[in-house]
Structure 1
Amino acid sequence: MTNTTKIQKNGKEPVVVVENVEKTYMVGGQAVNILKGVSVTIYKGDFFIIFGPSGCGKSTLLHSILGLDKPTKGRVIFSDHDFNKMDEDEIAAFRKTKVGLVFQASYWIKSLTVIENVAFPLFLMGKLPSEAAKIATEKLTLMGMESWSSYSPAELSSGQQQKVGLARALVVDPDVIVADEPTGNLDSKSGEELMELLVRLNKEQGKTILMVTHDLEYMKYANRVVHIMDGVIVEEFDGDVKSKIKKYMISKRGAAVAKGVAEESDADYLKKTIQ
Structure 2
Amino acid sequence: MTKAYYLLLPLLALCGCQLISPEEEEENPIVNFEFTTQAEVDDFFNRFISEINGDITVRGGEITNLNGLLRIQVIRGDLRIVGTSELPNLDGLSTLRRVEGDLELINNSGLINLRGLTSLEAIQSNVYLINNWSLISLRGLDNLAEIGGELVFNTIPELADISSLSNVTTLGNELYLNNCTSLKNLEGLHNLEFITSDLNIIGNDSLESLEGLRGLLHVGGQVFVVENGGLTDLCGITSLINNGFSGNYETRDNGYNPTQDDIVDGNCSN
Q: Structure 1 length as normaliser, TM-score? A: 0.30
Greater share of helix: 1
Per chain length, whose mean CA-contact separation is higher, i.e. which structure has more relative contact order (CA < 8 Å, sep 6+)?
Answer: 1
Q: Structure 2 length as normaliser, TM-score? A: 0.30
